[in-house]
């Protein structure tokens, strides 16, 4: 006789479950994942919700591949910390206190109802600094909260399939464009038409002249400000295609699923509550 599958295991979507099912998942040791991204300009070739869609979709696909523990992905908040893009229409940025409060409130709500570990899956570079501070503060208070960029666990694998001149991730680059081609099959032709004649942009957008390069190499931390009139991307989006996007998506999902299991099993230290 086949073992009956508990109701809470029928989905990885937190929002689709009842309170009783979520409680049962908690008691069985489910891992909770919160994806965060941004709503911001991504040049003229990608939608403004690119970061949020990529983070959520990769997080959910990885959850479906993770056999143990069961992973529940929270409804995504959508907006992130994007003041460096706010010169452009389409960018919706939370303030730093609001972003901090949102993450903190989610973590405290989970902790209060008995969940002991939260993983944040991030898809936006502007969130990295705030998330580092937020997770440090929460872990110091006794809440086991960490974050990972969805593209980091599988970086070594997807780099082998990354096309173009930039060997890594920029903004609205070949990696992000390739993933959007794979995640939005109905938009493939439209995105492909937009990127056809786009030249590579390998210099970052933090300085108006070459003088900033030496400062960066010496360790300067400076926001990549996308001012009005900026082309809005860094990298080589024209090199992206559907095939490489599918391959990079596959590597990212598989590696993140393995990361879920490792994160859930790790003996991570937290501070005094």
Q: What is the pLDDT of residue 212?
A: 72
Domains of the chain by start residue, with CATH? 7-265 (3.40.50.10310)
135 burial via Cβ count (<10 Å: 0-12, 13-18, 19+) = buried
- Phi first, then psi, for residue 242 (nearest 5°) are -65, -40
DSSP for 161-206, written as a single string: T--SS-SS--BS-HHHHHHHHHH-GGGHHHHHHHHTTPPPB-S-SS
- How distant, in Å, are the alpha carbons of 20, 218, 219, 221, 235 from that of 215? 55, 5, 6, 9, 21
Strands 118-122 and 145-149: parallel
Q: What is the pLDDT of residue 210?
A: 62
pLDDT in tens, the chain (273 residues): 455 677 889 999 999 999 999 999 999 999 999 999 999 999 999 999 999 999 999 999 999 999 999 999 999 999 999 999 999 999 999 999 999 999 999 999 999 999 999 999 999 999 999 999 999 999 999 999 999 999 999 999 999 999 999 999 999 999 999 999 999 999 999 999 999 999 999 876 677 776 677 888 888 888 899 999 899 999 999 999 999 999 999 999 999 999 999 999 999 999 998
What is the maximum span of the chain, computed from C-alpha positions, in angstroms? 71
Q: What is the pLDDT of residue 213?
A: 74
């Amino acid at each position: 006789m086949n073992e009956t599958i508990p109701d809470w295991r029928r989905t990885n979507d937190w929002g689709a479950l009842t309170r009783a099912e979520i409680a049962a998942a908690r008691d069985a040791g489910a891992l909770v994942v919160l994806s965060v991204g941004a709503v911001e300009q991504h040049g003229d070739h990608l939608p403004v919700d690119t970061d949020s869609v990529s983070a959520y979709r990769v997080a959910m696909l990885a959850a479906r591949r993770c056999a143990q523990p069961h992973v529940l992905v929270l409804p995504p908040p959508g907006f992130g910390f994007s003041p460096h893009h706010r010169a452009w229409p389409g960018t919706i940025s939370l303030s730093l206190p609001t972003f901090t409060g949102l993450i903190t409130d989610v973590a405290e709500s989970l902790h209060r109802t008995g969940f002991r570990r939260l993983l944040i899956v991030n898809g936006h570079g502007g969130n990295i600094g705030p998330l580092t501070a937020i997770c440090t503060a929460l872990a110091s208070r006794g809440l086991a909260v960490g974050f990972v960029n969805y593209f980091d666990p599988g970086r070594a694998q997807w780099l082998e399939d990354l096309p173009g001149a930039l060997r890594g991730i920029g903004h609205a680059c070949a990696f992000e464009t390739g993933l959007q081609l794979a995640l939005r099959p109905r938009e493939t032709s439209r995105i492909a038409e937009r990127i056809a004649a786009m030249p590579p942009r390998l210099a970052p957008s933090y300085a108006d002249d070459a003088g900033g390069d030496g400062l960066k190499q010496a360790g300067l931390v400076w926001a990549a400000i996308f001012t009005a009139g900026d082309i809005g991307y860094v990298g080589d989006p024209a090199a992206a295609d559907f095939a490489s996007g599918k391959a990079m998506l596959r590597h990212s999902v598989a590696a993140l699923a393995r990361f879920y299991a490792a994160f859930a099993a790790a003996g991570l230290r937290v501070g005094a509550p």
